[in-house]
């Protein structure tokens, strides 16, 4: 049990013993004592004043004395108005440190065969373009959230839905046929997803030129778009695909194959993966079947033009299209089919969709429809809704080719990490392989941390220059501190110092503060899982590292003359390093042993 819960329970018992007042210990929330006051934890006593019929200061003094007499971890107290500041015994903190040392999985709850099964969907790319900065935030949030949920004791299945069919795919295919002269990834030296993305941009360019020409002949913009021969060809290609035309399907398979190879290369560099990948081309028919089944049962309705709709006015929403008049499906239909397949494949207890906040309405509707169509888990699906990521110069547009490509960004971050690390002298004396490994670790760590440290529900601006800074709330700052600690521990090991022999040490304030911060880690992990917030882990690790750097500056470690104190500080250093490595690992970020 964490210290704050121990103290909360003790305060609840004190109030009962002193005043006959039964209180829910969950309502007692100890806070870290403010630095200007003596103490480790502070409890507000105002809620007990009425039952005690005494002034707040007197109530605080009585509860404090009861704790000293009855709670073994409490050494003393002081009262400031209605706030009881509680001093914890040094022996308690050394016991906590020892328990952290002896727990190889500190902060992590290992799942069992009976643990809840949670499926997390993330990435969800289209096969008409490469992954970009927006995908990066999605992928990194989904991957880190999967790690965190697993660390909270859940069994986790990481899944991806690839949007591999539709008019946008046909646009790329048609542009390749018309404008790219049989180009391949091999002939161009381009990753396949980049080549297909170029095709998509080329389609939009030629389409706009057609529209401009038609408007010059007197058409309105809408009339010109409707009359575009290029768009008509794309629609015809989609029709042929739906009918299974061999030539169109062969081209589709070939170009999608290029894209998948490109995606896999990007995922590998990001350090992410999936347990199961679903494809829209294989799920949309199941979705259509469920919609038609719902229509037969009177759960949905058909309009005069043949389209199928859901009336959601009873839930305070509007009417939602599920099948077009020509029988083709929409995204909602595909999501219904994918959900069905997933729950056929796995006994899922919770389904989490990692999708941007522009799709809030979509998932509100999906939840209602799944429930209406008889899926008992429909009501409980979780839409992990996150904000958009922009650049300092504004939003990105795929069709216009103004997105920040994920591969280019990763390469740029690694190169920048190499340059900055070299300028700061952090690569001196290392081999070329070590330099390359550190540049990769630091560059990708900077990128990941910058995208994950922000509350996921907020929009954010990504600034590459800020992210690579070795000072402040950045990945490199945390990585460098970890490498510094590992250097200290290596030197201690070479000197034959034993970090376990610190019995009877009297801790100073900085040592107590660090151990108290370490003790908070398991609850931070649980809170990050409950609230779907990797940023809680990121900012916890930053605060821990910042506290350690102050400790490192103020407290001698290897030069400490008292052997027991030296061992204590080495044990604290080791516990901090392990916790940093675990916390950063939950974010999908590696930490270098040397730097």
Show me where the domains of the chain are located: 3-88, 164-272, 406-586
Do the domains 3-88 and 406-586 sit in the same CATH topology, yes or no? Answer: no
Q: Torsions phi, psi of 432, nearest 5?
A: -60, -40
What residues contact residue 369 under an 8 Å CB cut-off, 6+ apart?
310, 320, 322, 332, 336, 378
Q: Rounded distance, CA 155 to CA 110, Å?
A: 9
For Cα atoms 160, 163, 165, give the angle at the middle one, nearest 5 degrees: 150
- The DSSP secondary-structure symbol of 251 reads H
pLDDT value of residue 400: 46
pLDDT value of residue 401: 46
pLDDT value of residue 397: 46
CATH pick for 406-586 out of 3.40.50.300, 1.10.730.10, 3.40.50.970, 1.10.10.10: 1.10.730.10
Q: What is the pLDDT along the chain (595 residues), one digit of tens a residue?
A: 678 889 999 999 999 999 999 999 999 999 989 989 999 999 999 999 999 999 999 999 999 999 999 999 999 999 999 999 999 998 899 999 999 999 999 999 999 999 999 999 999 999 999 999 989 999 999 999 999 999 999 999 999 999 999 899 999 999 999 999 999 999 999 999 999 999 999 999 999 999 999 999 999 999 999 999 999 999 999 999 989 999 999 999 999 999 999 999 999 999 999 999 999 999 999 999 999 999 999 999 999 999 999 999 999 999 999 998 988 888 899 999 999 999 899 999 999 999 999 999 999 999 999 999 988 788 889 999 999 888 776 544 444 445 688 999 999 999 999 998 888 888 888 889 999 999 999 999 999 999 999 999 999 988 887 888 888 899 999 999 999 999 999 999 999 988 888 877 889 989 999 999 999 999 999 999 999 999 999 999 999 999 999 999 999 999 999 999 999 999 999 999 999 999 999 999 999 998 8
Q: What kind of fold does domain 3-88 have according to CATH?
A: Gyrase A; domain 2 (3.30.1360)
pLDDT value of residue 164: 95
Per-residue tokens: 50: 């009425």
Strand locations in 215-318, DSSP E?
276-279, 301-302, 308-311
Number of residues that make up the chain? 595
Taking the model in full, what pTM does it have? 0.90
Assess contact for 540 and 524: CB atoms under 8 A: yes
63 closest CA partner among 108, 11, 28? 11
pLDDT value of residue 326: 83
pLDDT value of residue 1: 61
DSSP 3-state assignment of 301? strand
């Amino acid at each position: 049990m964490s210290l704050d819960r121990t103290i909360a329970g003790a305060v609840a018992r004190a109030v009962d013993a002193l005043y006959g007042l039964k209180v829910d210990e969950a309502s007692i929330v100890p806070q870290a004592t403010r630095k200007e006051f003596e103490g480790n934890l502070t409890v507000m006593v105002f809620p007990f004043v009425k039952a005690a019929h005494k002034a707040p200061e007197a109530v605080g003094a009585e509860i404090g004395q009861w704790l000293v007499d009855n709670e073994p971890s409490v050494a003393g107290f002081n009262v400031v108005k209605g706030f009881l500041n509680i001093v914890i015994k040094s022996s308690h903190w050394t016991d906590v440190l020892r328990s952290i040392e002896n727990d190889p999985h500190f902060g992590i709850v290992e799942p069992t065969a009976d643990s809840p099964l949670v499926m997390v969907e993330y990435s969800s790319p289209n096969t008409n373009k490469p992954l970009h900065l927006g995908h990066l935030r999605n992928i990194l949030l989904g991957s880190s959230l999967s790690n965190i949920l697993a660390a909270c004791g859940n069994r986790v299945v990481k899944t991806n839905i690839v949007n591999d069919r539709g008019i946008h795919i046909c646009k790329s295919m048609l542009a390749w046929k018309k404008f790219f002269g049989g180009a391949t990834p091999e002939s161009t030296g381009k990753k396949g997803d980049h080549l297909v993305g170029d095709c998509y941009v080329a389609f939009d360019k030629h389409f706009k030129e057609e529209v401009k020409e038609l408007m010059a002949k007197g058409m309105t913009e809408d009339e010109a778009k409707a009359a575009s021969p290029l768009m008509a060809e794309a629609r015809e290609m989609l029709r042929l695909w739906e009918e299974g035309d061999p030539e169109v399907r062969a081209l589709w398979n070939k170009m999608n194959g290029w894209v998948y190879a490109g995606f896999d290369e990007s995922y590998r560099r990001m350090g992410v993966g999936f347990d199961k990948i679903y494809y829209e081309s294989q799920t949309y028919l199941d979705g259509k079947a469920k919609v038609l089944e719902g229509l037969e049962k009177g759960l949905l309705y058909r309009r005069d033009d043949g389209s199928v709709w859901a009336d959601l006015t009873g839930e305070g929403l509007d009417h939602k299209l599920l099948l077009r008049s020509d029988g083709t499906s929409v995204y909602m239909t595909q999501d219904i089919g994918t959900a069905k397949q997933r729950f056929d494949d796995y006994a899922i207890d919770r389904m989490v969709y990692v999708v941007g906040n522009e799709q809030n309405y979509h998932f509100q509707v999906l939840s209602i429809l799944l429930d209406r169509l008889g899926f008992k888990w429909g009501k409980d699906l979780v839409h992990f809704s996150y904000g958009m990521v922009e650049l300092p110069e504004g939003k990105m547009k795929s069709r216009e080719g103004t997105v920040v490509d994920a591969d280019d960004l990763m390469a740029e971050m690694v190169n920048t990490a190499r340059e900055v690390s070299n300028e700061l002298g952090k690569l001196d004396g290392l081999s070329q392989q070590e330099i390359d490994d550190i540049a990769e670790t630091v560059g990708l760590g900077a990128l990941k941390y910058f995208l994950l440290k922000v509350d996921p529900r907020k929009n954010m601006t990504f600034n590459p220059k800020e992210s690579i800074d070795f000072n402040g709330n950045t990945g490199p700052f945390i990585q460098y501190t970890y490498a510094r600690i590992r250097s200290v521990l290596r030197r201690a090991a070479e000197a034959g110092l034993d970090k376990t022999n610190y019995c009877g040490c009297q801790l100073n304030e900085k040592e107590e503060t660090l151990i108290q911060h370490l003790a908070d880690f398991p609850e931070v992990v649980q809170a990050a899982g409950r609230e779907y917030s990797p940023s809680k882990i990121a900012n916890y690790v930053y605060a821990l590292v910042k506290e350690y750097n102050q400790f490192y500056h103020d407290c001698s470690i290897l030069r400490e003359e008292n052997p027991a104190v030296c061992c204590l500080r080495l044990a604290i250093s080791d516990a901090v390093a392990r916790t940093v490595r675990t916390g950063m690992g939950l974010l999908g970020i590696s930490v270098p042993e040397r730097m």
